[in-house]
Amino acid sequence: MEHIIWNREMECADRETKNAIQLERLKNTVELCYNKVPFYKQKFDEIGLRPDHIKTLADVKHLPFTTADDLRNNYPFKLFAVPKKDVVRIHGSSGTTGKPKIVGYTRGDLDRWSEIMARVICAAGGTSEDIVQIAFGYGLFTGGFGLHYGMEKIGAMVVPLSSGNTDRQIMLMQDFESTVLIATPSYALYLADEIEKKGIDKDTIKLRLALFGGEGHTEEMRAKIEAQLGLLATENYGLSELGGPGYSGECYLKTGLHIAEDQYISEIIDPDTLEPLPMGEKGELVITSLVREAFPMLRYRTRDITWLNDEPCDCGRTSMRMAKVQGRTDDMMVIRGVNVFPSQIESVIMAMKEIEPFYEIIVTTEDYLDRIEVRVEFSDASLLDDYNKLEQLRNRIRHNIKSVLNIDAKITLVTPGTLPRYEGKGKKVIDKRNK
């Protein structure tokens, strides 16, 4: 399979060229923020910073951070840097409660977004020959529209199904002989499970590639979906605040997510001291946009934990890569003093054949102590009649989780098919503690 590099000039540029592009665009973005967005002007004035103080790329560390609260406090349009008449699209965060975080795009922003989408799609292995089933939600969520325009740009055949209606997804996937699936890993897992349960002939499914994103997944979960659907899956990362997907995505080699460096500056900071960390160290990802007109963003604290790698990739791209997101600073659970990421529990579950890949983690406080309960489905329904075997399975899961986390979790086994399935991002942790 031939792999296309969509924009060789940008994706394979040397460091010097990239630095020059970044510096020029950073200066423009800082000017834009200062001159057009009162929120930024006030922040600059408070610390005595002027746009002309930004002379080198290293000066980015003098810029103030922006946080999710800043978006909420300026809801809906107060961070826009252009008049409303120049905004042609609105998107927002995918949360279902409260006010969404709203972002805007000019026509030029949409063009530049499609451009970086085309890059990550080609990096994954997508081509103009592909028939692409988009099962990301269309709406305020950036996933559906982002992939849609990127796929059209490379000339693929787009099937804009949006999420849900699984029977129809499977029928059209067979009828159209879709070759690429775009979905959250949670939904892909559900789809794969349904295809298996319905006893559908695997030869009628022609998928060869999937682009996942919108949430993380463990390598174990990816391997499971890849095997079940017979495809290669790459991971994509982005967030509404910075425009959505396109910021970074894996190439077919799956060795970290290539970042669109001509459109974004990426830093890793220590989330406690807020100091920048050296290349390769793990911390919170902070992103500055470089070409966004309607909604420029300075040093946005993503809360996502990862690290960066500046080595060129064997695919030929020189772009800086980020590691798979390890978790969010705010989804790390502290259980009796131990830091626990849901992904650690997911790895254990995915590795055990006797249980289904669906789970729920429930955190409560009992007698002032944190308790963690993991609910999973056992695969073999006949176990219901064999208490001993069920008990043994429960103990094995408990033991495996304990060996990874060093804490005792309560394991609840439920019958196959009882836990919720997700069409978009999965909600796998229910924290019932009073915070």
Judged by CB, which is closer to ligand DLL: 214, or 342?
A: 214
**Using rule CB under 6 A, residue 346 touches ligand DLL:** no
Residue 76, preceding bond cis, omega within 30 degrees? yes
Residues in a beta bridge with 305: 284, 327
Judged by CB, which is closer to ligand DLL: 169, or 343?
A: 343
Residues in a beta bridge with 92: 102
Q: Is 82 left (phi over 0), alpha (psi -120 to 50) or beta?
A: beta
**Using rule CB under 6 A, residue 239 touches ligand DLL:** yes
Judged by CB, which is closer to ligand DLL: 13, or 71?
A: 71
Cβ–Cβ under 8 Å, residues 291 and 263? yes
Cβ–Cβ under 8 Å, residues 161 and 180? no
Judged by CB, which is closer to ligand DLL: 25, or 222?
A: 222
Give the one residue of 113, 149, 237, 300 binding ligand DLL; rule: CB under 6 A.
237
Judged by CB, which is closer to ligand DLL: 192, or 233?
A: 233
Judged by CB, which is closer to ligand DLL: 235, or 356?
A: 235
Give the one residue of 109, 115, 130, 215 binding ligand DLL; rule: CB under 6 A.
215
- Report which residue type is found at 372: I
Looking at residues 64 to 103 of the shown chain, list those that interact with ligand DLL (rule: CB under 6 A). Answer: 93-94
Judged by CB, which is closer to ligand DLL: 299, or 371?
A: 299
Closest distance to ligand DLL from the beta carbon of 296 (Å): 17
How far is Cα 54 from Cα 195, in angstroms, rounded to an integer? 55
- Report which residue type is found at 244: G
How far is Cα 67 from Cα 325, in angstroms, rounded to an integer? 18
Letters for 107-146 (x = contact with ligand DLL by CB under 6 A, - = none) are -----------------------------x----xxx---
Cβ–Cβ under 8 Å, residues 233 and 208? no
Near ligand DLL by CB under 6 A, which window of 229-237, 259-267, 275-283, 309-317?
229-237
Judged by CB, which is closer to ligand DLL: 94, or 178?
A: 94
C-alpha dist (Å) from residue 296 to 26, 31, 293, 382, 412: 10, 10, 6, 57, 47
**Using rule CB under 6 A, residue 245 touches ligand DLL:** yes
* DSSP sequence for 306-328: E-EE-SPPTTS----EEPPP-EE
How far is Cα 136 from Cα 213, in angstroms, rounded to an integer? 9
Name the strand (E) or helix (H) holding 390. Answer: helix 387-405
Residues in a beta bridge with 209: 180, 232
Measured in degrees and rounded to the nearest 5, phi and psi for residue 314 equal: -65, -15
Looking at residues 256 to 315 of the shown chain, list those that interact with ligand DLL (rule: CB under 6 A). Answer: 302, 304
Closest distance to ligand DLL from the beta carbon of 385 (Å): 40
**Using rule CB under 6 A, residue 254 touches ligand DLL:** no
Closest distance to ligand DLL from the beta carbon of 148 (Å): 11
Q: Which residues bind ligand DLL (CB under 6 A)?
A: 93-94, 136, 141-143, 213-216, 235-240, 244-245, 302, 304, 325, 328
